Amino acid sequence: MTVHPTWVFDSSPISDPHGRGERAVKFFRALKHPKSTAPKNAFELAPFWERILRRIYGPSDVNGHRQVRTVYIQIPRGARKTTFGAGLGLLHSCGHEKVPGGACILAASAEDQAELAFDEAKAFIKATPALARATHLVDSELELEHLASGATLQAIPAEGDVQQGKTPYFVLIDELHVWKNRRLWRALKSGLLKVPNTLLVIITTAGRGQDNLGYEEYSYAKKIAAGEIINRSYLPIIFEPPAKFDWRDEKVWHRVNPGLKYGFPDIVGMRQAAEEAKEKPADREDFRQYNLNQWLDSASAPFVEMAVYDQGAAPVDLDALASKPCWLSVDLSSNTDLAVVMAAWPDDAEGYDVHPFFFCPRANLRERENKTGAPYAQWERDGLITATEGSVIDFNAIQATIEDLCSRFNVQEIAFDPYLARMMQSALLEKGLPVVDFRQVPSLMMPAISELERAVIARRFRHGGHPVLRFCFANAEVERNKQQHAVRFYKSKKWLSIDGAVAAAMAVSRAATGESNISLYANPAVTADMLVW
């Protein structure tokens, strides 16, 4: 089921018996913004935002009370929603909607996001002389006060302490899809019930998964938009693509990005992002979520296109690799995850041959099959997984495999994630084997994932079509930092294994460093922002 707010784009009349919608529009048009290119920095209110303003504030009862008490706006990135939200906060703290001593809240997911929201409000105030004279700013508290009325506007992070004493009459929730703290959400919603004629506005992009606060609100808003639930005080405005769509179709881009026709977001930038996402599913899923506003299922696409990954399925000849330098990585687990030893051999063309050795407890083979649908028992029968007796993995079997590989191949290093590995590392060191630590921290995993991704996309990652390794790659998703660098792998469900992908990144990273003899931190391909978490 998809919904589309057609009324935002047509010329259908919007009731405004008391002129509150018109006053809201006039207030926004009187604002100035330092980034505006209009004469005298006049704020440019896009027509679709104007229609939304009129629909929020126009319809009212005979006493002048707004019909709308809750607004849910789901719109892609780049629609200037933070700027619009800051304008709403000023309308309620400094404009026609203010009440004496009233508290207005801009609530964001984290402190830096709260600062961004407040900075937008501050930009309006400093560029609009009438507001600058009428308000007092307290930057350290992310708060401003309207001097004549005592009304306040404060930006607060959802990750902070709950302020149960707050009794706001206006609350704007920014990016609900990333909120993890339900306590502030409950506190603000319950606070709005204490006084009449309050307004809650939620402005967010689409999120991922269904087990979260954002999805609950999105699902409720969609049911109202579709007419399944009647709640005239709740206004849902959801810009999302149809159920079946081509993510590369620019008509779809315009459908869900109402600001594109006015130059925001940047169409050239969107085209570049779409081009780069063709063979990078993680980027494509980000594009669908953030740029096309599609709420994604709990399991999104793997970090590389599996059709591209499959092009490395030619057989890996282990006998032919016996004398070539080899790097091993080890990722241990005790029960629910797989344990894996990964061997990687670099070639002379910046590529790699790899071969994995997987381990799991025999006692949960069937449970794994039932949870994932993957043929674990068959994999064990085919020798693709070593199932050790009992309900936990026998680390002695893993150590024996490592020692065997060191006797068969020209092993340069054995890179361990030290979690669970200290005893095995000590035992191998006593045997004179080249053990090193490889902690799965962002500063190491970012360049490792980057190198793995480069090799796969370049068709220089040869894995022999190992089905368990493919299963791991198909399950691997990536978490990104503020600079959009992949910082770690993660999985959407407990029983989905990604350990082979993690070990592959570790092995190729160490092989790349060992072959070039260049430290990770001296590698010119590793930029400073890649090391910022």
Q: In order along the chain (533 residues), what is the average pLDDT of each group of 10 residues? A: 87 96 97 94 96 98 94 97 97 96 93 92 96 94 95 87 67 92 87 92 89 87 95 97 92 97 95 89 85 75 78 94 96 84 95 97 86 84 94 94 97 93 95 94 92 94 95 85 77 81 96 66 47 40
Question: Are β-strands 477-480 and 435-437 bridged in parallel, bridged antiparallel, or unpaired?
Answer: unpaired
Phi, psi of 85 (to 5 degrees): -65, -40
According to CATH, the topology of domain 306-531 is Nucleotidyltransferase; domain 5 (3.30.420)
Q: Return the H-helix or E-strand segment holding 173.
A: strand 168-174
Amino acid at 326: C
Place of tokens 């992002």: 273
Instruction: Measure the CA–CA gap between 47 and 53, rounded to whole angstroms.
Output: 10
User: Tokens 């407990």 — which residue?
Assistant: 494
Neighbouring C-beta atoms of residue 22, cutoff 10 Å? 14
Yes or no: say if 44 and 28 are a contact pair by the CB < 8 Å rule. Answer: no
CA distances in angstroms from 409 to 304, 344, 404, listed in the order given: 29, 11, 9
Q: Where are the domains of the chain?
A: 6-239, 306-531
Question: What pLDDT score does 533 carry?
Answer: 38
Token readout for 381 is 């029968």
CA atoms 365, 370, 371, 376: torsion sign? positive
Query: Which of helix, strand or coil describes residue 311?
Result: helix
Do residues 398 and 423 touch, judged by C-beta distance below 8 A?
Answer: no
d(CA 403, CA 411): 10
CA distance 36 to 83: 11
Q: Is the pTM of this model over 0.85?
A: no
**Crossing angle of helices 499-516 and 442-457, rounded to 10°:** 90
Distance CA 187, CA 162 (A): 7
Q: Give the burial class of 387: count Cβ atoms within 10 A of its Cβ; 0-12 exposed, 13-18 middle, 19 or more buried.
A: buried
Pairing of strands 152-157, 103-108: parallel
Whether residue 265 is preceded by a cis peptide bond, meaning omega within 30 degrees of 0, is: yes
**6-239 topology per CATH:** Rossmann fold (3.40.50)
Contact status, residue 200 vs residue 71, Cβ threshold 8 Å: yes
Q: Which residues of 466-501 are buried (b: 16+ CB within 10 A; e: fewer)?
A: bebbbbbbbbbbbeebeeebbbbbebeeebbbbbbb
